Structure 1
């Protein structure tokens, strides 16, 4: 079973390691960053399922990190701060923060909040597998297998491929795919879809039984031959 990946961006090493200790015990995988710049670098290198983000960070503060993250998607964020003023909470929520925890906090409560946010924002993991000749998409594990071999995919690529594969032979516009996979609140460019489709194609190749087809002037569809097995 795949372990959800949590990115902890916190400059207090003691706090970061304490949070990680509790999360690892609860079967999470954790990555730690000591400043905002390192945090965004790690976000791109190994996209997490959820981010724990401190506000007062060196090099790039939590607000700047949050603004950058929201340009690339809706990864859940729980903000950590020693400040309890309502202004900070309102600003955080306006930037797309999903939850807000004021220090000092109980680690067990933080773990519970992490689980609650993931359940609320990521029902994807409860969906059934897609099974086609040479292709298996496992939502519960967040994994894709081609000809029995696991292919590395970040979460949004898996979700996009899954959505197309479960609505086979149906044409979707880029805007429809953004709304369905990224959500109505996503404010990114339509080219986000093109970039993800290109990456997916590079990984799965051009198959005989199934493939992602560009419908010029409209969008994309996941084309499955009639002889291909159903999932």
Structure 2
């Protein structure tokens, strides 16, 4: 059974989420504050987390940061904070998706299904070596000549998708959907920013990329040949 941890300080929202998730066959754990949520994650690693940002003790961003220090469990932020800065910060820290309150229950459940499906299908990724560069997406580890290269969780998601489809074009909308979820297919600026950072870290010459190729107006391709 897929286990979903719901984290919110509003009992009505927790009750609604719990009823709807259980009705669709999910197991549910609930937490009303950040410390309780982290304890549950440590004790029984869920398959997905629905995380509010406005918690009474630890801010949701702090919870997300701590979770990402030891786990890549899918995290969907469900928050009344609709400002773009909050969304960008959460996504940059490794949130898989961001849903603003008030939300459509059917849309939220669709995003839970998408996040858990990505987690299952993306669990095992290939290891690729190009010259002195080694990319191990399964362990989220990259090295060049034995020296560790640090990528953010979001950068790893992008790299994992492209490496998994190596040699094939991944269209912008598909990459955005797989990394950030439904509703982000038009946010191409996300990709430009993250791909520029990925190239700085992984390309021998970021100004003349040979591994992470842009197909203008179409998408991106990982070309290890």
**Unpaired segments of 5 or more residues in structure 1?**
125-158, 164-175, 188-231
Q: How many residues align?
A: 139
For the aligned residue pairs, the C-alpha RMSD in angstroms reads 2.5
Residue deviations 1:17-51, cap 9 Å, x none? Answer: 10111111111100000000110011101110110
| Cα pair 2:93 2:152 within 8 Å, conserved | no
Deviation of 1:181 (Å): 4.4
Question: What is aligned with 2:138?
Answer: 180
Residue deviations 1:132-167, cap 9 Å, x none? Answer: xxxxxxxxxxxxxxxxxxxxxxxxxxx79xx9xxxx
Distance in 1 between the 2:25 and 2:101 partners? 24
Residue deviations 1:163-195, cap 9 Å, x none? Answer: 9xxxxxxxxxxxx896424576577xxxxxxxx
1:75-224 correspondence runs (5 A): 75-123=73-121, 179-182=137-140
Question: What is aligned with 2:176?
Answer: none
Alpha carbons of 1:177 and 1:7: their partners in 2 closer, same or farther (altered >3 Å)? Answer: farther
Structure possessing the higher radius of gyration over alpha carbons: 1
Question: What is aligned with 2:59?
Answer: 61
**Unpaired segments of 5 or more residues in structure 2?**
126-133, 143-150, 154-225
The DSSP-based 3-state class of the residue aligned with 1:27 is coil
Residue deviations 1:35-71, cap 9 Å, x none? Answer: 0011001110111011000000011110110110011
Higher relative contact order (CA 8 A, sep 6+): 1
Taking structure 1 as the reference length, the TM-score comes to: 0.55
Distance in 2 between the 1:183 and 1:102 partners? 32
Distance in 2 between the 1:119 and 1:7 partners? 16
Distance in 2 between the 1:30 and 1:9 partners? 11
